[in-house]
């Protein structure tokens, strides 16, 4: 067994204390910087620059694409409501999965809640998970202002990952500017600078 020494015996009390206090101060500084992270940093942390292909009438990617920011970890929103217990007259609700696009007035007991989250909410949930944040509602991370946190940025899932592919991706850009002629990376990068709100 190797001959070990107590740290205090090996380095001296002052040296060990100095290192310890340095580590405490460094950790506190890191914590402070995490507390004031901006909306721009949260959004950019979820994005990757990729070539995307607009969907054609057949629901597959067109031949020509362009570079855009993609929210790579997005769960596609399908407009589907699931049973959950946040209605006034829950557990009485019918069971199963219901498509909100085809629901009729006869579906009087459709679940009023949903297990789907908007794309801005998903970005914040990803950030919270990556940062080990412990504030949650139930088992999911929730930010009350997520849907307004990213200003004029919007999310568009009418794109494919490759030509003739049906695999959809979520593109992030400025409202009304999601075609090759108007999607301007320089303009988008400049707009990141306006996201100064912090959490």
Interval 51-103: pLDDT, tens? 999 999 999 999 999 999 999 999 998 876 555 544 444 363 444 444 444 44
Q: For 185-196, how does the pLDDT look when each residue is reduced to its tens digit (9 = 90+)?
A: 999 999 999 998
Residue 109 has pLDDT above 60, yes or no: no
Which pLDDT score, from 0 to 100, does residue 145 have?
83
Give the angle 90-94-96 at the CA atoms, nearest 5°: 115
pLDDT in the model for residue 197: 85
pLDDT band with cut points at 50, 70 and 90 for residue 125 = confident
Query: Using one digit for the tens of pLDDT, what is the confidence trace for 128-163?
Result: 888 776 554 444 566 778 889 999 999 999 999 999
**Predicted local confidence at residue 64, as pLDDT:** 95
Please tell me the pTM assigned to this model.
0.67
The predicted structure's pLDDT at residue 79: 72
pLDDT at 144: 75
* pLDDT category of residue 37 using cuts at 50, 70 and 90: confident
Residue 29: per-residue pLDDT: 54
């Amino acid at each position: 067994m190797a001959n070990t020494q107590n740290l205090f015996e090996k380095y001296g009390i002052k040296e060990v204390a100095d290192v310890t206090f340095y580590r405490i101060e460094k950790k506190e500084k890191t914590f402070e910087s995490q507390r004031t992270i901006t909306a721009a940093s949260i959004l950019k942390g979820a994005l990757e620059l990729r070539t995307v292909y607009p969907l054609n009438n057949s629901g597959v990617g067109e031949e020509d694409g362009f570079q855009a920011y993609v929210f790579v970890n997005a769960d596609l929103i399908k407009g589907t409501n699931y049973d959950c217990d946040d209605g006034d007259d829950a557990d009485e609700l019918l069971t199963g999965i219901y498509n909100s696009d085809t629901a009729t007035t006869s579906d009087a007991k459709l679940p009023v809640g949903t297990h789907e989250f908007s794309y801005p909410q998903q970005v914040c949930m990803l950030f919270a998970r990556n940062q080990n944040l412990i504030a949650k509602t139930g088992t999911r991370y929730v930010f009350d202002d997520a849907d307004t946190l990213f200003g004029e940025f919007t999310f568009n899932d009418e794109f494919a990952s490759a030509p003739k592919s049906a695999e959809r991706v979520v593109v992030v850009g400025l409202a009304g500017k999601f075609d090759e002629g108007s999607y301007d990376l320089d303009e988008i990068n400049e707009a990141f600078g306006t996201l100064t709100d912090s959490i």
